[in-house]
Structure 1
Amino acid sequence: MTIDTLISNHNLSVSAATVVKPFDSDNFKESVMDTYARFPIALERGAGCRVWDSTGKEYLDLVAGIATCTLGHAHPAMVETVTRQIQTLHHVSNLFYIPVQGQLAQWLVQHSCAEKVFLCNSGAEANEAAIKLARKYAHTVQNIEHPVMLTANASFHGRTLATITATGQPKYQKNFAPLVPGFHYVPYNEIQAIEAAISELDEGDRAVSAILLEPLQGEGGVRPGEVAYFQAIRRICDETGILLILDEVQAGMGRTGKLWGYENLGIEPDIFTSAKGLGGGIPIGAMMCKQHCDVFAPGDHASTFGGNPFACAVALTVCQTIERENLLENVQARGEQLRTGLRALAAKYLALITDVRGWGLIHGMELAADSEITAADVVKAAIAEGLLLVPAGAKVLRFVPPLIVTETEVNLALQILEKAIAAVQA
């Protein structure tokens, strides 16, 4: 597909002249902390599902800022909102009413099981807010002096001290001890482990107060939750008064073909979080809850930038565009197309690819554990061919394109992926 066709398909506009500037990685490294293992390309602009690097090379983007650029790059609706809002009012303070914050919160309430919304800046902040809300609920409603929150092995909930403690992956916690107390880890999709933990931890003034899970584990290898597992947890929570918290930071905002990941499981959480796709690439997060667990009072929690007019206006535009352009239907259709294509590759490369799994436009392709080929190897080969992918662990390739991805683009991605697989096997 040519750039002219891409622009026509998505009503995009880009500068007629592309300025190619040299990028100096050494200068970059002199000033920027070395906290990322970066692939050796510098991305400078984008349109739809395409991006271009500092040399002018074009890539098909199936990373989308890691499931963040819901509407792709330079979507006209976002461009118009960003331009209008920055010229009007971009930040004030939550000491005053912010009308567009109320409009966004109302949209989220009307399109979910939530009744109250707290707005912040990221997924980690949203999960931190959920943890704090659950702690206060434990002390003030459940009468638990030492509350424990259950989370899953291989989970990922953020990089703050509390959220890396909640994250059931020791590699993210290394060298950051002492961690926050009050967390206990259980295997994902194993209800007996949940039941055993609740029984084991109920002792004296200590008890399980909340369960925090992803409806689909993203960083943990793109592993969907099992319906029976989550429905059993919901029953346990209903019977015991334990809060069910779902981390929808990666799975929410239409990524799975439903607006929220929990809709795939036939349950409703007490609290859930969103970020990534909510702002389409503009930083914003949300912690949402049902009325019965809204125990925050003025002064309990806050965020200087959270819910500012700029971020809320863009997020509201993303929400309304998902509706107006029927993007959930596109996610379902393109997700089925992607899954079919990935499974065809798995059938062709039986010795290398052991599983394909996911929902909608979040899929994982797992490579054989005994193969010397890693997910990073395939990602590098794909980048060389003009396709951006990202790993989800050492052996899983993650596919999370913008929700606007077209049939032609999915087919092209599958063709490039096969070339990349052939290249690493050669």
Structure 2
Amino acid sequence: MSFPVSTGDTALEIEQSASNRTAELLNAAKKHILFTANRPDIVMASGEGMMLYDTEGQAYLDFIGGWAVNSLGHSPAALRDALAKQAATLVHASPGFYNEPQAEFAELLCSVSGMDKAFFTSTGAEANESAVKLARKHGALHLDGAYEIITLKNGFHGRTLAMMSATGKAHWEPLFAPKVNGFMHVPINDLDACFAAVTNNTCAIMVELVQGEGGVHELSEAYLYGLRKICDMYGILLIFDEVQTGLGRTGKLFAFQHYGIQPDILTLGKGIGAGFPLSAMLTKEKYDLFQPGDQGGTYTGQPLGMAAGLAVLRELLGRDLTASADVQGRYLKSKLEELAEELPVANIRGKGLLLAFDVPEGLAPKLSAACMAEGLLVNAPNATTIRLMPALIVEQGHIDEMAAIFGRVFRNILKHVG
């Protein structure tokens, strides 16, 4: 499906060649890729820094960041170099052996997080499954077989069967029955409701500190302190799902550092690999409870992923991108507040570079699509919310350009809808 272009081709011929290639790729994708999402009729071909490019050369300023994944931007040199070096040395040895980057990465990650032990997987859902299994192991050993886990309504923990059961999305309730039982859902920031849900069967409470997929809603400090007290009182585990918020996204290396409260189990994903599929579950020494056969996986701790994660974390620390996320996040909020002075933008919220705001009912998907047509990528997680998750390398110039495009698009839409 390649179309070689000679130096004598005209601009029109090159454009037609690109269009033909895109058409063939789209035809192949629609014919052979299982439908799981509504995708636009474009094919992404390359990326650099804050920019994405499709097969027809259209450039997109990316404020989705691969769903908060591309923490270092697109195709960062640190990740490319680490992958190339490790691929030339050792790609996979089996999970039955330690490897060099695994030991180095685990040591550094535990050091900066205040945790003691690490288990590495490939996706956030796997990391959360590992956390649930460890909590239930704790319940089996120390809480007379307790297995229930309290989670929050409107939360999100992944798309495996167990994690869809853990996730508090109402429209998921009837899907893929029978559900994995043992999950209780309570409202966010309602400590009384959480306290009332605790029973002799409860082994853990699992929460996102900022509900990303749910529309960027934060846990209050008082609520989080209350959860910690409940867990300490009953000997149950407090699990922080920082798959989306971890590794600098909120202006701290970990979102729990905003509160000064540590979890018993911490899960990480997305930005930990800056685009390479990688996740981790971290815990304290006293919860190192698994026995051989309890947990594992073919690609757990494989050298290529470990080299990627180690390089990403070193880059984040070396360039102090966490502090930059805080500074740029504040600037982005100020630009959104300026837009709110003339446009129906409300309830600007979030931390660092995980921000969202509300628009009139039904306009969010229209705004997202119209922005993409103008070369700007933003996310509409629901009909009233726009979410922004740019790479941690974002600069003020990018934010100014985003605000200009978004404002122009919004004004144009308002003209058409009155």
TM-based fold match above 0.5: yes
The Cα of 1:157 is off from its aligned counterpart by 0.2
More deviation, 227-236/168-177: 168-177
TM alignment of 1:254-265, pairs within 5 A: 254-265=248-259
Between the aligned partners of 2:364 and 2:203, the Cα distance in structure 1 is 37
CA RMSD of aligned residues (A): 1.5
**Letter paired with 2:22:** F
Query: Which residue of structure 1 lines up, in the alignment, with residue 241 of structure 2?
Result: 247
In structure 1, distance between residues paired with 2:383 and 2:191: 27
The 5-angstrom pairing of residues 303-382 of structure 1 reads: 303-349=297-343, 352-368=344-360, 371=361, 373-382=362-371
Q: Is the 8 Å Cα contact of residues 249 and 275 (structure 1) preserved in structure 2?
A: yes
Report the Cα distance in structure 2 between the residues aligned to 1:275 and 1:401, rounded to whole angstroms.
16
Alpha-carbon contact 1:227-1:266 (below 8 Å) kept: no
Report matched runs for 1:12-411 at 5 Å: 20=18, 22-24=21-23, 25-143=26-144, 145-198=145-198, 202=199, 206-349=200-343, 352-368=344-360, 371=361, 373-411=362-400
Q: Deviations over 1:66-102 (max 9, x none)?
A: 0000100121111111111111111111111111111
Give, in angstroms, the shift of residue 20 of structure 1. Answer: 4.3
Name the amino acid aligned to 2:177.
A
Runs of 4+ in 1 over 6 A off after TM superposition: none
What is the distance in 2 between the residues matched to 1:174 and 1:304? 32
Task: State the 1:240 CA deviation.
Answer: 1.4
Alpha-carbon deviation of 1:242? 1.3
Counterpart in 2 of 1:13? Answer: none
Could you tell me which amino acid in structure 2 is paired with residue 376 of structure 1?
P
Q: Deviations over 1:39-74 (max 9, x none)?
A: 232111000000111110111011111000010012
Q: Which stretch of the first structure deviates more once superposed, 169-178 or 329-338?
A: 169-178
Q: Secondary structure at the match of 1:392?
A: strand
Name the CA distance, whole Å, in 2 between partners of 1:374 and 1:312: 42
Contact 1:115 1:288 in 2 (8 A): yes
Q: Distance in 2 between matches of 1:65 and 1:174?
A: 29
* CA contact 1:45–1:52 (8 Å) conserved in 2: yes
**Amino acid aligned to 2:314:** Q
- Can you list the C-alpha shifts for 1:173-225, whole angstroms capped at 9, x where unaligned? 43311011111000011111111112xxx2xxx42210000010001111111
Task: Provide the secondary structure at the position in 1 that maps to 2:113.
Answer: coil
What is the CA distance between 1:117 and its match in structure 2? 0.4
Contact persistence 1:219–1:392 (CA under 8 A): yes
Local SS of the residue matching 1:262: helix
CA distance in structure 2 between the aligned counterparts of 1:194 and 1:286, rounded to whole angstroms:
27
Residue 237 of structure 1 and its aligned partner are, at CA, apart by 1.1
Are the equivalent residues in 1 in contact too, given 2:64–2:388 (CA < 8 A)? Answer: yes
Q: Is contact 1:279–1:318 with CA below 8 Å preserved after alignment? A: yes
| 8 A contact 1:284–1:306 mirrored in 2 | no
Distance 1:347 1:289, change over 3 A: same
Amino acid paired to 1:110: S
Going from structure 1 to structure 2, the CA distance change for 1:150 and 1:251 (only over 3 Å counts) comes to same
Q: Distance in 1 between matches of 2:175 and 2:181?
A: 16
- Secondary structure of the residue aligned to 1:23 is helix
1:142 CA drift (Å): 1.7
Q: CA 1:85/1:154 → structure 2, altered by over 3 Å: closer, same or farther?
A: same
Q: Calculate the TM-score normalised by the size of structure 1.
A: 0.91
Paired with 1:235 and 1:345, the residues of 2 have a C-alpha distance of: 41
Quote the Cα distance in structure 1 between the aligned partners of 2:97 and 2:195: 45
**Aligned letter for 2:179?**
L
Residue-by-residue CA offset, 1:291-342 (whole Å, 9 max, x unaligned): 1222112211001012111111011000000011111121011100001111
Q: Distance in 2 between matches of 1:378 and 1:167?
A: 27
Amino acid at match of 1:52: Y
1:413 corresponds to 2:402: yes
3-state SS of 1:109 partner: helix
Structure 1 segments unaligned to the other structure (5+ residues)? 1-16
In structure 2, list runs of 5 or more residues that go unmatched: 1-13
Q: Distance in 1 between matches of 2:146 and 2:269?
A: 29
Matched-pair identity in %: 36
**Deviation, structure 1 residue 423:** 2.1
Q: CA deviation at 1:399?
A: 0.4
Farther-moved stretch of structure 1 (232-241 vs 254-263): 232-241
User: TM-score normalized by structure 2?
Assistant: 0.92
Secondary structure of the equivalent of 1:348?
A: coil
Determine the C-alpha separation between the residues in 1 that align with 2:295 and 2:223: 32
Partner of 1:192, secondary structure, is helix
Q: State the Cα distance separating 1:146 from its structure 2 match.
A: 4.3
Letter in 2 for 1:327: L
Amino acid corresponding to residue 389 of structure 1 in structure 2: V
CA deviation map 1:251-273 (0-9, x unaligned)? 00100010111111221000010
